Chains A and B, each alone.
Chain A
Amino acid sequence: MRYSLIMHYPEMTEADLGTEAMNEGKAAFDDYAKALNEAGVLLAAEVLQQSASTTTLTARDGALKVQDGPFADTKEQLGGIFLIDVPDLDAALAWAEKCPAAYYGTIEIRPTAVHFEDGAWHGTI
């Protein structure tokens, strides 16, 4: 079963944190990704740029609207995801517990409904 570990945390720049803390954070993510990889459960890891570099688009109201900034301007922003493949929610929780972002943010553990791979959809909604 595929699970997305979706990380939400307050956005901090290197200037806010200091270089040392930033490097420490990077090392923690590095350890974590390598541990997931070694266990053979990691499919993808994406750490996103700050929401300031986001662009939002909608055509919901009939006209195309392109906007600077995130969809929702909240204190905690979507910071990235780890996509893992583990047997069940228990295993996903065991890994989410070790995610460095759990110490300063929130981890949402969300199962995949369907995914597209090798030219076809897999799974059922």
Chain B
Amino acid sequence: MARDDLTAKARAEVVARASYGRLLALLAARTGDIPGAEDALGDAFVQALSTWPASGVPANPEGWLMTVARNRQRDRAKSAAERTSAPLAAEPQVFDEVDPDAIPDKRLELMFVCAHPAIDPGIRTPLMLQTVLGFEAEQIARAFAMPTGTMAQRLVRAKRRIRDARIPFVVPTRADMPERLPAVLEAIYGAYAIDWLLVSGERESLAAESLYLASTLATLLDDEPEAYGLAALIAFSFSRARARTGADGRFVPLEEQDTTRWDATLIARGDDWLRRAARAQRLGRFQLEAAIQAVHAARARTGLTDWWALRTLYTALVELTPTLGARVSLAATIGTLDGPDAGLAALEAIEGAERFQPAWATRAHLLAEAGATREASAAYEKAISLTTESALRAHLTEKATRLSPNG
């Protein structure tokens, strides 16, 4: 399937998933019981499938589903209550009449539950994909290259934990927000980042879903600059998805990409979100990363890359979050601006990059620029040996071959 079709399909699905997430979040927020809410909503969908073909689709399908699912929840609670003979408050709320927009949106609460400190970080992204977007364990497992059984088990365990430990469905207060928000951002970013961890690049991408989660989070929180920053970052990166692979299936590095293949709509959304983020005047990691992407995206308009701006931004990013990736990127930028020797010196100063593939690819590139062909060739060889993704390996192999045309 072509990448375009996949993207369009993913976008359509994302729209359909919005109502699932809203309904589940609302049902689960009442009881704290996600599995129970999933069952009730599942029953409501089954009932819809059996009655709608004959009776017609109701004017407010979401309200209809909500009412049926709530009745289902109530029936179950009642039969449990009868067993314990505790009285149960009646809640005569029927949504069939109301405006769908009047249904409260509890997805924000749900996202904070999924990324609660008591939930294992490794399961937060899958949990969000399942509860907020309604993905089956099987689809999530495929994206994470994990057996379905293992993934399903971990999801069940996490949801039970939420119910049994009574993790509250609340949005953290402003005071707690700095502590709690990063985990939600990380979990959403995780859905985007798995795109880059694959062996062959043939597994389904969750870029569209992560973009949807990030924009939902940013919009619902409204005044959190880092949430807008993350949405912008994903939008910019996703805008280049098509240009990243050449006609021959080979990886195309950013500087060599054909900017007419970038998605202008996504770039405009990224710019807009980044502007909104800037209003709060609280800089953070995701805003910096998004700003870096915005500088690259500007090449579609100006035809140029502002390397000085990139150096400033990378320097700030390394100051804030000195990850290996950021430090290697800063070294590469220095190499472009001040010459390969300066770049290499910056690269050598990075500790712990011995088996980091991007460090070796950058080193090889800088050595080639410096005319140190033999060293460059060895560095390319090392970079290639660390590359498990075939499109990227083909690109590096080609660059290594171009080093010594005479063999």
Please report A residues at the B interface, Cβ cutoff 8 Å.
Answer: 17-18, 20-21, 24-25, 28, 31-32, 35, 38-39, 86-88, 90-91, 93-95, 97-98, 100, 103-104
Contact = CB atoms under 8 A, between A and B. Distances in A.
Contacts of A103: 145-147, 150
A38 B145 contact: no
Given A35-B390, A87-B385, A90-B355, A25 B147 contact: yes
B305 interface: no
Contacts of B357: 94
Nearest to B390: A38
A87 B381 contact: yes
Contacts of B372: none
Interface string B145-163: 1111110000000000000
Contacts of A90: 354-355, 382, 385-386
B321 interface: no
A31 B200 contact: yes
Contacts of A21: 147-149
B147 A86 contact: no
A31 B387 CA distance: 16
B386 A91 contact: yes
Most chain A C-beta atoms within 10 Å of own C-beta, residue among B146, B148, B149: B149
Nearest to B356: A90
A10 to B, nearest CB: 11
Given A25-B147, A39-B393, A32 B199 contact: yes
A35 B392 CA distance: 13
B265 interface: no
Q: Which of B141, B145, B150, B202 has the most CB of A within 10 A?
A: B145
Contact of B199 (A20, A35, A93, A104): A35
B401 interface: no
A-B pairs with the 6 shortest C-beta distances? Answer: A90-B355, A91-B385, A35-B199, A87-B385, A94-B386, A98-B199
A39 B393 CA distance: 8
B47 interface: no
Interface residues of B, number: 21
A21 B147 CA distance: 7
B388 interface: yes
Interface string B373-392: 00000000110011110100
A99 to B, nearest CB: 10
Contacts of A91: 385-386
Contacts of B141: 24
Contacts of A17: 149
B43 to A, nearest CB: 24
Contacts of A94: 355, 357, 385-388
7 contacts: A21-B147, A32-B199, A35-B200, A38-B390, A93-B355, A98-B199, A100-B145
A103 to B, nearest CB: 5
Contacts of B355: 90, 93-94
Given A95-B388, A100-B147, A103-B145, 13 more contacts: A17-B149, A21-B147, A24-B148, A28-B147, A31-B200, A39-B393, A87-B385, A90-B382, A94-B355, A98-B145, A100-B145, A103-B146, A103-B150
Contacts of A95: 388
A86 B382 CA distance: 10
Interface in B127-167: 141, 145-150
Nearest to B142: A24
A86 B202 CA distance: 24
A30 to B, nearest CB: 11
Nearest to B146: A103
A104 B147 contact: yes
A84 to B, nearest CB: 11
Most buried by A among B147, B354, B390: B147
B116 to A, nearest CB: 24
B149 A18 contact: yes
Contacts of A38: 390
Given A31-B199, A32-B199, A86 B385 contact: yes
Given A87-B382, A90-B355, A93-B355, A35 B147 contact: no
Contacts of B385: 86-88, 90-91, 94
A76 to B, nearest CB: 15
Contacts of B393: 39
A28 to B, nearest CB: 7
